[in-house]
Chains A and B, each alone.
Chain A
Amino acid sequence: MIELNNLSFAYRRKHPVLSNITLNLSTGHIHGLLGCNGIGKTTLLKIVCGIMRPDSGRVCVDGRNPMERHPEMLSSMFIVPEEFDLPNVSLRRYAAITAPFYPNFDMEQMLGYCRELNVDADVRLHSLSMGQRKKAYIAFALACNVRMLLLDEPTNGLDIPSKGAFRRLLAGYVDDERMVVISTHQVADVEQLIDNIIILDTEGVALNATTAEICSRLSFGRVSDGAEVLYRERSVVGDVAVAVNDSGEESSLNIELLFNAATANRKAISELFIR
């Protein structure tokens, strides 16, 4: 369980990146963390894993402050940053050196993930392309079998077949004891994968709801001119919109539309999901 209470952070005074973030992330879910550039998604992930300290507010990971860097917390959490440096050794060697910090690491599993993602665990990491390196790191991260896996823009740089493989691996990874948090702009890559959506904006958390809740309360798609909607935009097929779902049936989610709606009409959207 990750609990954030009234969290704020600024790199420069009077220019807050995160303000008033109150958020609980529970296990059993793949959380999608969405927000415009510079809104603080990466900062939030770094605060959660104790790399950075918030200016104010409270962070609690399984009852502990991550800044304590308690070994138990560190061994149950893994973050794959958007950009990272790895030593110039093979992934197999890297894993052998680093795995002792993760008691549930499984080498055979990692090699299996490498096969799925089509990446060679026996060549030096610096001789791999950026995308290959990312896949290698994801394979290692998954094989650590941590309870809390944080992924910052994981699909950036991945080729098309790898995105499918990534989804299958993640869908097989999460269970009742584990959670995954994916920060991303590539919503199409993760639309069917995430089951809880968090939208951050300058005021804090604009939306935090499960995809099931969203689809039962909102509908997405083409509308006629006069229809009453919460948000509308032009597209090649005519106007598309987000409206209150009063059909009694679940709609089909469109995250891009949802995001634009939550940005343009924050109040109406967030009021629908007050818990």
Chain B
Amino acid sequence: MHFNEEKPIWRQIYELIAKRILSGEWPEGERIVSVREMAASVGVNPNTVMRSYEHLEADGVIFNRRGIGFFVAEGARERMCAIERKKFIDEELPKLRERLLLLGLIIEVKSNSKNG
């Protein structure tokens, strides 16, 4: 897996899992791969992967059954969708808008125009 330099690696793994939950690849109620398996499959330190899992747990998307592993929570898809939607609107959309303006793909319309 290739990582980009703008986001911390734990965040990128968080998003990788978010995508799998959103797409339904990892359905609600099912056990997900262990921290160690995930670490070994992406070549990232298991402590870093653990932090991704902890953030997902804090966001109520996965939960830990001691001694068994992590599971996708009931209602995770909806919750994940809300979280990712908010992040898109707060963080990605302003950047996208700026780029679209710069490339002339959209134009800014002043709402307090005198003739309006």
Query: Which A residues lie at the B interface, using CB under 8 A?
Result: 28-30, 164, 167-172, 174-175, 192-195, 211-212, 215, 250-254
Contact = CB atoms under 8 A, between A and B. Distances in A.
Given A192-B9, A252-B5, A164 B43 contact: yes
Given A192-B9, A250-B8, A252-B8, A171 B3 contact: no
| Consensus secondary structure, chain A interface | loop
B45 A192 contact: yes
Interface residues of B, number: 21
Nearest to A169: B40
Contact of A212 (B36, B39, B46, B51): B51
Contacts of A251: 8
Interface of B: 3, 5-11, 36-37, 39-48, 51
Nearest to A194: B45
A24 to B, nearest CB: 17
A28 B36 contact: no
A195 B48 contact: yes
Given A171-B42, A252-B7, 6 more contacts: A170-B43, A192-B9, A195-B45, A195-B47, A212-B51, A250-B10
Given A192-B9, A252-B5, A252-B8, A168 B48 contact: no
A164 B54 CA distance: 25
A252 B37 CA distance: 23
Given A192-B9, A215-B8, A252-B6, A29 B39 contact: no
